Structure 1
């Protein structure tokens, strides 16, 4: 999805959004348990946020060039399913060793991020994904995990989250976590296989496909994209990210 609003400037600010669009996630061959499996229809919360933000920007006629990319798939089991131990290619040319087929969202995000840079070269690039149980175990239903090496961008997103009630909190992207994703047989592996730092190592995986973009941020929205939001006792999509991003974009435009 692409929106280019009217602007007094010849080239309005350009922002790229990438949203994970896994329409149903069984875990693949690394299959999930049955408890709460029916909620895996929510694994496209990042994609919904991206499309919702592009639509909102268009309705508000924001003077910005906004690109939304939604890599979409499901993650199911059949005779041709990816297996643990497989090595696959990526759009960037890097090879990926698949340790866990339930770490599938980062595979499609990697291609989406690289595609965004190659074809659109946005000034700011933000991805959203219901990516890890680790972020949910850290923040519960209350906040998203925010990752960025750009402190200004991180502070702006966190401020927009506070203003809109779509809260996020910054976690580290320290290089010391990078070796956790090293593979013996490929350029990188998709999962470190350890019961700690899952959200951080997932973000480090994505970082490898950003071409060291100077203004990239990753929002892991696993705990906030689909839950009870006070309107009813039923769990449903919250629309998390749209208000946060629209507020951020408005601030970004005013300062550009």
Structure 2
């Protein structure tokens, strides 16, 4: 798999860790299968830095809660190895589109078959590189630009160059009907010098991937294009979810990730 796809294994391993906790914030039925498959094929998954699994659990819960509020047309950009189509209680009539690289989605399909999961919604897989013309592929797969859409871009913008990031936001805006919603996260550069951030970035680089510093403000860009944007931070959400982050975690580093919810009136 491409380097960014390999980071999906890393995220899945953290979701598997979360699923084993009695106070878990989510339960991903595919995560354990991902880890087992990686071990069987001798794919190495770097260990998560201290606190990373707790951070990831809060981020995952944020997106889960966002998707629980509609609309019935959902697009998951860079879907990775998450199993939201299978693990969330979807309302009748929900249609969910998963977009990601072809080789990653093929690997995911084999895991889904091995575990015997069944989607709780109408799930449509769109194998595409998001740097290509993914809008045409999405519409060809049955997406309706006249219907409100719930978009999520979990852990995606950090890997995109500024031109690719702007192109993605342009495309989402162009495909969104009134009433659409968009959840995404991005990382402030304020914590670039923190030891825990440097550690996490080193582990990502060890998998061949690279974060791209956020130069522009995606939330501000969306606001300027007619979206209403609210921003949450991981430490505050952890408290809201009843599971504050451990004391050993660097609050400045944890607070650097903005979890954003945008709505198009």
Question: What is the TM-score with the length of structure 2 in the denominator?
Answer: 0.29
Of structures 1 and 2, the one scoring higher in RCO (CA 8 A, sep 6+) is: 1
Higher strand share: 1
